[in-house]
Amino acid sequence: MQAKATITTCRNGKITRSTEECFVTPDTGSQERDVVNIYPKLANQQIDGFGGAITESVGYTLSKMPLPVQKEILDNVFGTEGLRYTLVRTSIDSCDFSLSQYEASSAPGAPFDLRHDETYVIPYIQAAQEVCPETIGVMLTPWSPPAYMKSNGERSHGGKLKPEYYSAWAEYICRYIRSYQAHGLNVVKLSIQNEPNANQLWDSCLFSGEEEKTFLRDYLCPALQSAGLNDIAIYIWDHNKERLFDRVREVVDETTTPLISGAAFHWYSGDHFDALRLVRAQYPSLSLLFSEGCIEYNRFDRDDQLQSARMYAHDMIGNFNAGMNTFLDWNIILNSEGGPNHAQNYCDAPILCNTKTGAFEKRLSYYYIWHFSHFIERGARLISTTTFSTEVDAAAFRNADGRMIAVLSNNSAVSRCVFLRLEGSIIKVLLPADSIASVEIEI
């Protein structure tokens, strides 16, 4: 057995990365403390990939950077030495991370105009494809139907889709998908509504479980079928974890099971890893997709990069261990203010760009995400683990080639030795204080 650990630390604002061989010894039974057990034969869900969002704000920010820097940034996200993302999420019409609110068609019978997408979204997904060795899969998500279709007559402040527009909205979504396909983009996933339980100051729309089920079953899926788009994977909920299981129970029944690929979720209401476990146990055929999470500047200290990075590692490890298949971060980059955002809902991103100087900063969160997405291949399987303390979060994976990856996050301000126990061997890993490690294991 051979093992090597790649470790990232941040000391006094300086981020360092190192790789070292690990000491492997036979398991004599004497090591009892600080053990992470790894069970390679206990394989769980398949990992379907990693990605992030290219919103209008992302594209606009990239457009303000010099062309060579644009490519460098995209290579850091989609290239083989970077995050190795293969998935992109973006909005149908505007979201809060848009320069302004917009709609492709704002009145019945009005022309369908995708100028916003064609300026700042589609070209940058295409540019990402140029550096990504795999075909990028695109997930589309609406934040709001056009204002004229809604009960409150506006894109913001919730409101509901009027029943008389269910059919028109389904056709609108199909037209959006076909427009993206006409630009050569591989649309593979669709969620029905972003945050259907949130009345926001920005683009939003409320759907109860029964309304989401009715729209899905009686309008959206028939429209997709008629348009020849029945191969698009449909995800329900797309909101926080605390009500994930409840929404799945409301929407999934014998009439909708064949129509639904999975449930999407966000992290803004806390861990709720057991909500994922409930869905995984009760609805094992559903894919669990993390579709959004970010560090909100109105809730967290933007300068505490360690706290932000730890949030990512803790949530990713907890979600994977609870059954998550896919990880999609929110905006892949933003400007140095955490925008632009037409609602001033500024947030952090793994890469922040100074559009005045043309320089960019890879935040510590970028490096923490890298410890997952760079090593864990699409098609990998989560393998079972047990760990000894909440101070060290751990998850393990087996890639298709048999290589195993253990991700360890040291959440304490002291260094410690961790002992990975598997297949009759002990692998000693020295975790510095406030660090994350990816351990590559070959038997």
Q: Give the integer Cα–Cα distance in Å for 3 and 92.
A: 45
Query: Which of 179, 204, 194, 47 shows the shortest CA–CA distance to 125?
Result: 179
Q: Please give the backbone phi and psi of residue 316, each rounded to the nearest 5 degrees, phi first.
A: -65, -45
pLDDT tens digit string along 254-312? 999 999 999 999 999 999 999 999 999 999 999 999 999 999 999 999 999 999 999 99
Q: Are 410 and 434 in contact (CB under 8 A)?
A: yes
Give the CA dihedral 349, 351, 352, 358, nearest 10 degrees.
Answer: -160
What is the 8-class DSSP label of residue 125?
H
pLDDT tens digit string along 414-432? 999 999 999 999 999 999 9
Mean of the per-residue pLDDT values of the chain: 97
Cα dihedral sign for 249, 251, 257, 263? negative
Q: Give the integer Cα–Cα distance in Å for 330 and 276.
A: 20
User: Is pLDDT at 106 greater than 90 in this prediction?
Assistant: yes
Q: Are 221 and 212 in contact (CB under 8 A)?
A: no
pTM over 0.75: yes
* CA dist list (Å): 92 to 76, 190, 258, 397, 426: 26, 10, 24, 34, 50
Percent of the chain scoring above 90 in pLDDT: 99
User: Is pLDDT at 12 greater than 90 in this prediction?
Assistant: no
Percent of the chain scoring above 70 in pLDDT: 100
Q: Are 146 and 172 in contact (CB under 8 A)?
A: yes
What is the per-residue pLDDT for 278? Answer: 98
Cα dihedral sign for 53, 54, 57, 58? positive
Q: Are 210 and 256 in contact (CB under 8 A)?
A: no
- The order of strands in the sheet holding 351-354 is 333-335, 351-354, 359-362
For tokens 């126990």, name the residue. Answer: 421
pLDDT tens digit string along 229-244? 999 999 999 999 999 9
How far the first Cα of the chain sits from its last, in Å, is 4
What is the per-residue pLDDT for 13? Answer: 85
> Sorting pLDDT into bands at 50, 70 and 90, what band is 390?
very high
What is the per-residue pLDDT for 272? Answer: 98
Domains and CATH numbers, the chain: 2-45+383-442 (2.60.40.1180), 49-378 (3.20.20.80)
Average pLDDT over residues 120-129: 98
Q: Give the integer Cα–Cα distance in Å for 9 and 426.
A: 24
The secondary element (H helix, E strand) that includes residue 393 is strand 392-398
pLDDT tens digit string along 68-88? 999 999 999 999 999 999 999
Q: Which conformational region is residue 184 in: left (phi greater than 0), alpha (psi within -120 to 50 degrees), or beta?
A: left
What is the per-residue pLDDT for 23? Answer: 97
pLDDT tens digit string along 346-385? 999 999 999 999 999 999 999 999 999 999 999 999 999 9
pLDDT tens digit string along 161-217? 999 999 999 999 999 999 999 999 999 999 999 999 999 999 999 999 999 999 999
Average pLDDT over residues 90-106: 98
